[in-house]
Chains A and B, each alone.
Chain A
Amino acid sequence: MKKYVEAVLLNNERLDGRKFDEFRKPVEISYDVSNKAEGSARVKIGKTEVIAGVKMDVGKPYADSSDKGNLMVGAERLPVSNPEFLPGPPNAQTIELARIIDRGIRESGMIDLKKLCIKEGELVWNIIIDIYTINDDGNLIDASALAAIAALKNAVLPELVDDKVQWGVFTKTKVPLKFEPINVTVYKVGKSLIIDAGRDEEAATDARLSVSVSETGSVHAMQKGGSTGMSLDEVDKAIGLAIKAVKPLRDALK
């Protein structure tokens, strides 16, 4: 199948007839899918489906950031989403998925972590983002990253009484966000660079570059995956492609 995918792409076509820089349709986001979580969202890109939840808790800050809240991102690739995903402790790919999303959020500085400090050196908010894959039809990274951002946008702080969190009682205070970086992954199959790979295309991928892009078009984080290299020229092209292709995801987020 890999040879076939490469042959089709060399012919300037894609398996499902899309353009190289086109996302699958529809890109859908639904909010408040969980009533226990402080924020949650379900994202569908084509048949790929991911749920993300945000949980807020208080805790001690780390010594090197005593006036800042903390961020944790965990991902789980559920066996229900792909026959190749197994239950049990996360493997390298699952950890990478969580790390790419974590980096996109953390390094861009989209969350104003200083505003999440309650008492300096003693008590801060912890943001815990959990990603669950429901169906994997390729490009889980972009769907998960979008779900994480959407869930953060949706999240509110819970009620705090005597430094204790009142679970289930929500305030109207939103998590302080500065802007919305969105992750777009560019897949390199053979010599072609494509966006939003389907399952067969993803299986044929040689290398990929995840680029986190903000509204202004600036790049906040990147992660290269796959066993083959990418030339400087290809990286340049990939970043350009990512900035151009991000539009449908940003439209869905509004």
Chain B
Amino acid sequence: MTENMLVKEREVVVPGEELAVGMDYLPSEGAFRDGDKILSSRVGLFNLDGRLVKVIPLGGKYIPKKNDTIIGTISDVSPMSWRVNIGWAFDVMVHMREGSREFIPNDADLRRYYAPGDLVVAKIIKSASPKMIDASLKMPGCRKLGVGRVIDVQSSRVPRIIGKQGSMISMIKDATNCDIIVGQNGKIWISGNDHKMEKVAEAAIRKIEAEAHSSGLTDKMSVFLKKEAK
């Protein structure tokens, strides 16, 4: 099976580059099939997940996917739904019945639950087309966020910021004593009792974002946090 792979794992590929031959593999994110070949559609790192051929982007804008946890701002309230700005070209929709774990009556004023300008954590439940993305505020962890610092990072750096099983982010949380929520769309909410610590948390996240490709980052970060978060 492996002789049909044309590039090595974690190699940088460009759009149009041939990744694999034959029907043994299936194109996934960032790849497409042309005849019996699988080609890349973006600049990124080649990744093989079972039979799935993926290209992980090196940068670029966040593209909403189903089951992503995102942070956004309520931009509009209509009689049956909310619109949430998540940094994507179109606002995503949260229907009334997905709005809250508590029951929302039909004639309720939806502004009482979430008003324009409120910050929320939501989960994408349907992504039919770029213009029609539905999110839910009912899933575990989804809620309205309080006062806190919101920063924007490259969405492709989010996995590195979270770390393996959340190791990196929990290290920052422990060191700075802040609440941190990372959205897959690259928006990060930081809230703590001490504004100085929030600044340290932001600096740490910015450092990870800048040095995402270097190895041994966890050790570097623990040194950085020990120095800064005194």
**Which of A's residues lie within 8 Å of B, judged by CB?**
1-4, 7-8, 11, 13, 15-17, 200
Contacts and interface: CB of A to CB of B under 8 A. Distances in A.
Interface string B51-72: 0000000000000000000000
A1 B119 CA distance: 9
B195 A8 contact: yes
Contact of B199 (A4, A17, A200): A17
Residue among B117, B119, B147, B150 with the highest chain A CB neighbour number at 10 A:
B147
Interface string B197-217: 001000000000000000000
B189 to A, nearest CB: 10
A43 to B, nearest CB: 24
A129 B165 CA distance: 55
Contacts of A13: 195-196
A4 B149 contact: yes
Contacts of B30: none
A17 B195 CA distance: 10
Contact of A15 (B117, B119, B147, B149): B149
Contacts, number: 20
15 contacts: A1-B119, A1-B149, A1-B150, A2-B117, A3-B147, A4-B147, A4-B148, A4-B150, A7-B147, A7-B195, A13-B195, A13-B196, A15-B149, A15-B199, A16-B199
A15 B199 CA distance: 7
B195 A11 contact: yes
B151 to A, nearest CB: 9
Given A4-B147, A13-B195, 18 more contacts: A1-B119, A1-B149, A1-B150, A2-B117, A3-B147, A4-B148, A4-B149, A4-B150, A7-B147, A7-B195, A8-B195, A11-B195, A13-B196, A15-B149, A15-B199, A16-B199, A17-B199, A200-B150
User: Top 10 nearest A-B pairs by Cβ distance?
Assistant: A3-B147, A4-B147, A8-B195, A13-B195, A1-B150, A4-B149, A4-B148, A11-B195, A17-B199, A7-B147
Nearest to A3: B147
B93 to A, nearest CB: 20
A16 B149 CA distance: 11
